[in-house]
Structure 1
Amino acid sequence: MTARVIVDPVTRIEGHLRIEAKMNGGVIEQAYSSGTSVRGLETIVLGRDPRDVWALVQRICGVCTLVHGIAGVRAVEDALNWEIPPNAELIRNLMIGTQYVHDHVMHFYHLHALDWVDVVSALQADPKATSELAQSISAHAKSSPGYFADVQKKLKGFVESGQLGIFANAYWGHPGYQLPPEANLMATAHYLEALAWQRDVAELHAIFGGKNPHPNLCVGGMPCAISLDSGKQAGTALDVVGLERVRNVLAQMHEFVHQVYVPDTMAIASYYKDWFRQGEGLGNFMTYGDFPAKGYGDRESYMIPGGVILNRDLSHIEPVDLDAEEEIQEFVARAWYAYRAGKDVGLHPYQGETKFAYTGPQPPYKELDVDNQYSWLKTPRWNGKPMEVGPLARVLMLYATGDARTTELVDWTLKQLDLPLEALYSTMGRTAARTLETALIVDQLQGWYDNLVANIKAGDVKTFNEALWDPTTWPKEARGVGRLEAPRGALGHWIVIEDGRVANYQAVVPTTWNAGPRDAQDQQGAYEAALAGHALAVPEQPLEILRTVHSFDPCIACAVHLTDPNGEEVLELKVQ
């Protein structure tokens, strides 16, 4: 028996994703990933002042605002060889690192946890036993029987009213759920805690960037002035009060990650060890590198190194050159786009085109035309090979290059769970890697903060380099790439500048790498490869598909493009 299981839309993600699984009996034989919504900010920035680009491309996504903005800023700075002050680099590292911690915690509890946690089962839990479980794995303050009893009472009110709200429409009671009721109650309580916690964490972006989401940035540094006198410039500059608030936010992040997030991941993973044996996918991993210690151009100083791992071989790292036109290319053989040179060619982002060519059936449609075009996502390749990007790729890269703290965390985790290194190449391995990466980043944040404070105490308050602000000093033609390791993976913004204006712009985002459709050689993307071989216990409730797709943390809003049904531009923006 062969049939298709269709999940559309895949929920608890950013944007609109459709997964079609071709079944052979109860097992997925082939999977197909389709981005079904569209955007087009690359075309909107054409002809504009490059210094304004970050504010527009930041709107690619309402969640990934900071990383797209910084990628846009870095692209211009790279094109013009525009160096920024050390304080600006430290502030950017602090903001990006905070984005990691915020994003990963939110993903685990609010987008991914319900794939493993049966919230309704928590009603059967014994609050006293839940308290004992929580205290056995962590020193977190909120772990008393009374606390868990109150959470259970609140949850019971949701269920009895028939208004589950954020917990509605899940596959409660599915045989794939394996946590005991007490673990479910503990995780549900932490789900609710994380909702309140994230509000305070988001404040750090507002302190440095004026607001969140869409914090303020600028080409040449950061727009937040530093004041040595909090009394005279309070509210208009970063002063001792703001720095103290940053320190407090960092402490809150550190406590929650190490006392709640890491223990919860370990506890949940111990009940789902079978998921360390499925969901690998490609076996190819790529990072661009990020968190510079000595400036964007000194890639040897990056905390996260760039490179490619092929076929799980951690003994050899291939370098990545984002300027090499034969290395990074995007294809459209199975996407609803067209290139002037034909659909089977690949284009480096410097030559990239965003020309819409929808040839599929009008939605709603029964099935994707998977033999032709079936997605609004393009298909990026590194030297013709598909890549997985994201937390697992970064943890593997750090482990392969001998980073001491990463090696310690990975080896400790595998020992606790009695698993081999190969277990990381899996759905649960991807989830665990995200948690370990969060622990690495949250520990590093304090060092960046200390360095910033030391600079200020030494009298260095510079956050902006105005040297190249005058466009008449720019070369007639320039091009550059803004590389960044976004929480979801390798992010690149490529810009071509001619006569002081944007002549071409292309963003290749993490979810494009992971969720893109097949190429002309029928090579699968990371989602598609990871889903193959999954057995569905209840095809009408494809929990297994959600687990693996969510382990990548999809952001389809970042990955697709914008058009109307006739392929025409739908919005024109004018700057007065």
Structure 2
Amino acid sequence: MSTTIQFPISRIEGHAKVVVNLDHGKVLNARFLAQEYRGFEQFLKGMPAEQMPVIVPRVCGVCSTSHHLAAVEALEDAYDVKPPPVAEKIRHLMMVGQLVQNQATSLFFFTLPDKLQATSIFGADESASKDALGSISKKAMAVRKIGTELIAIAGGQFIHPVKAVVGGVVSGIDKAAAKEMRKKIKAAIPIACSLFDEYWQLSQKMTKAVGDWEGDDPFYYMIAVDKNDPTRPVDHVTMQKSDGSETVTFRPEDFRENLQFHQVQDSFSAKTSFNDLPIRANSLARMNLIESTGTPIANGYLERFRVQFGSPAHQILLFDLCRGIELINGLERADRLLAENLMDGEMSVPVEPRDGFGYGLVEAPRGPLIHHYQIENGLIVNVEFVIPTVHNNFSIERALTTMAKRFVHEDRIDMGLDSAMGWVVRAFDPCIACATH
């Protein structure tokens, strides 16, 4: 007899559910299904191309910075424009701010409650050791606030930034404001480290309790960052097989020739694969494929990570620890960027719009994001968003199936299956709002 078990998933961006399909008590598979539809690729047709950088951040209130910059880069590619160095540094700072904000949100507000067996970060205040952390929620919010302020100072406003324009940025960063921001960052780093140290210990306890959540089947890691600065995007995507036997790179304009796209009938989110194997983007991919974080404290955590878990390390739970390393790296990197002169010099270059095709590639917190625009008579006639969560969907379902088999038996279903499904999904930190564009 075939049956299904359904679980709504909370503490993620957007709305999704997990469906576990059974046959006579045995797990056939587990599905991760997106339940909302946004439709941005459709209603953007006919829009003036120059408006894209201010429209597409509305795809998502969490990932708006990534979409803002991907849109600007796609138009610069179409118009054959290169921004000046100071503008590139300010955009870099904008992306670092999003990284800090996102990783703090995912770590402390989405997944830390799982480690503390609490329903929310605010409930966790009562169950955690006050000697170790004091008020977890207050400290977590203080660290997250650094990310939002960095986006605002570099992007003009926190949600839906506006400061990047085709050809550069609209203005620099005042030296006094940069100095004040650096003081806040330096105060936040030890707080972030203390939270992350406690998080690391709690993660190890969870691993001992539920195992590594991992199967042995092969897959590919996917990144688009500098190997010695994982906060800095590059102009190509790198794919590496999980056993390290194969590495392939391609430029964003070649994504159709390299990625396989799969439509899902009962979900509003598609899936991608590479050489017919699942893909893992996001934090674990970056920490496995880079050589160094490029900053001292984060590098210390990365070395500890590799000693303890190996390199590459594949356990699903380790996505979260890698986010912590990136959080510290982002704070250190922001401090370095703000130490530079971001007020003087050329902020933008002249732009002459033209028709054609443009591709923008940025490394969002969840992995490589590609925007592809076709422009005719100054209007968008076709747009494609290639979303990081779409890359992860096959891997999410594989991990969900592995976990379900540990809880479902022919004669019973163990308590905790619903919680375990949430643990797996939140490890990948999916953004359903973006994935159902």
TM-score range (shorter-chain normalised) is 0.7 to 0.9
Say if 1:478 and 1:497, in contact at 8 Å, map to a contact too: yes
Identify the residue that residue 557 of structure 1 maps to in structure 2: 433
The amino acid across from 2:431 in the alignment is C
The amino acid across from 1:317 in the alignment is T
Deviation sequence 1:512-571 (CA, Å, 0-9, x none): 2123xxxxxxxxx1110111221237446511111111001111011114xxxxxxxxxx
- 1:412 counterpart = 2:304: yes
Supply the distance in 1 between the matched residues of 2:182 and 2:378 (Cα, whole angstroms).
40
Shift of 1:25: 8.1
**Among candidates 255, 259, 266, match of residue 190 of structure 2:** 255
Residue 305 and residue 382 in structure 1: after superposition, are their counterparts in 2 closer, same or farther (change >3 A)?
same
Supply the distance in 2 between the matched residues of 1:187 and 1:278 (Cα, whole angstroms).
28
Which runs of structure 2 are paired with 1:139-538 in the superposition (5 Å)?
167=123, 189-216=135-162, 217-223=164-170, 225-226=171-172, 238-261=173-196, 263-274=197-208, 277-279=212-214, 283-289=219-225, 306-310=237-241, 312-314=242-244, 316-324=246-254, 325-332=256-263, 334=264, 373-399=265-291, 409-415=301-307, 418-421=308-311, 424-450=313-339, 452-453=340-341, 456=343, 460-465=344-349, 467-468=350-351, 470-471=352-353, 474=354, 477-515=355-393, 525-534=394-403, 535-536=406-407, 538=414
Q: Secondary structure at the match of 2:139?
A: helix
Identify the residue that residue 14 of structure 1 maps to in structure 2: 13
Shift of 1:501: 1.9
Deviation sequence 1:436-464 (CA, Å, 0-9, x none): 222333322233223x32x65xxx43211
| Number of corresponding residues | 423
Residue 192 and residue 427 in structure 1: after superposition, are their counterparts in 2 closer, same or farther (change >3 A)?
farther
Deviation sequence 1:402-421 (CA, Å, 0-9, x none): 98978754331354xx5444
- 1:545 counterpart = 2:433: no
Deviation sequence 1:95-149 (CA, Å, 0-9, x none): 11111111111111111111111249xxxxxxxxxxxxxxxxxxxxxxxxxxxxx
Shift of 1:197: 3.9
Q: Decide which moves more: 377-386 or 96-105.
A: 377-386
Supply the distance in 1 between the matched residues of 2:305 and 2:279 (Cα, whole angstroms).
25
More helix by share: 2
Shift of 1:39: 0.5
Q: Secondary structure at the match of 2:369?
A: strand
Deviation sequence 1:465-486 (CA, Å, 0-9, x none): 1x21x43xx3xx4212111111
Say if 2:12 and 2:110, in contact at 8 Å, map to a contact too: yes
Supply the distance in 2 between the matched residues of 1:186 and 1:114 (Cα, whole angstroms).
16
Q: Secondary structure at the match of 1:243?
A: helix
Residue 514 and residue 377 in structure 1: after superposition, are their counterparts in 2 closer, same or farther (change >3 A)?
same
Shift of 1:490: 1.4
Q: Secondary structure at the match of 1:289?
A: strand
Supply the distance in 2 between the matched residues of 1:64 and 1:532 (Cα, whole angstroms).
28
Say if 2:122 and 2:137, in contact at 8 Å, map to a contact too: no
Say if 1:119 and 1:185, in contact at 8 Å, map to a contact too: no
Shift of 1:258: 2.3
Q: Secondary structure at the match of 2:14?
A: coil
Supply the distance in 2 between the matched residues of 1:65 and 1:495 (Cα, whole angstroms).
18
Shift of 1:213: 0.9
Identity of aligned residues (%): 23
Residue 402 and residue 247 in structure 1: after superposition, are their counterparts in 2 closer, same or farther (change >3 A)?
closer
Larger Rg: 1
Which runs of structure 2 are paired with 1:31-46 in the superposition (5 Å)?
31-46=30-45
The amino acid across from 1:504 in the alignment is N
Q: Decide which moves more: 12-21 or 315-324.
A: 315-324
Residue 204 and residue 433 in structure 1: after superposition, are their counterparts in 2 closer, same or farther (change >3 A)?
closer
Q: Secondary structure at the match of 1:551?
A: helix
Q: Secondary structure at the match of 2:383?
A: strand
Identify the residue that residue 410 of structure 2 maps to in structure 1: none
Say if 2:133 and 2:194, in contact at 8 Å, map to a contact too: no
Say if 1:117 and 1:184, in contact at 8 Å, map to a contact too: no
Supply the distance in 2 between the matched residues of 1:214 and 1:252 (Cα, whole angstroms).
27
Say if 2:283 and 2:366, in contact at 8 Å, map to a contact too: yes
Shift of 1:51: 1.6
The amino acid across from 1:321 in the alignment is R
Q: Secondary structure at the match of 1:319?
A: strand
Q: Secondary structure at the match of 2:253?
A: coil
Identify the residue that residue 358 of structure 1 maps to in structure 2: none
Supply the distance in 1 between the matched residues of 2:198 and 2:115 (Cα, whole angstroms).
11
The amino acid across from 1:439 in the alignment is I
Shift of 1:32: 0.7
Supply the distance in 2 between the matched residues of 1:183 and 1:412 (Cα, whole angstroms).
24
Supply the distance in 1 between the matched residues of 2:259 and 2:202 (Cα, whole angstroms).
37
TM-score by length of 1: 0.66
Q: Secondary structure at the match of 1:213?
A: coil
Say if 1:78 and 1:480, in contact at 8 Å, map to a contact too: yes
Supply the distance in 2 between the matched residues of 1:541 and 1:260 (Cα, whole angstroms).
28
Residue 291 and residue 495 in structure 1: after superposition, are their counterparts in 2 closer, same or farther (change >3 A)?
farther
Supply the distance in 2 between the matched residues of 1:259 and 1:305 (Cα, whole angstroms).
35
Say if 1:305 and 1:397, in contact at 8 Å, map to a contact too: no
The amino acid across from 2:190 in the alignment is E
Shift of 1:251: 2.1
Supply the distance in 2 between the matched residues of 1:53 and 1:303 (Cα, whole angstroms).
22
Supply the distance in 1 between the matched residues of 2:95 and 2:268 (Cα, whole angstroms).
28
List runs of 5+ in structure 2 lacking aligned partners.
408-412
Shift of 1:44: 2.2
Supply the distance in 2 between the matched residues of 1:192 and 1:304 (Cα, whole angstroms).
38
Supply the distance in 2 between the matched residues of 1:429 and 1:215 (Cα, whole angstroms).
31
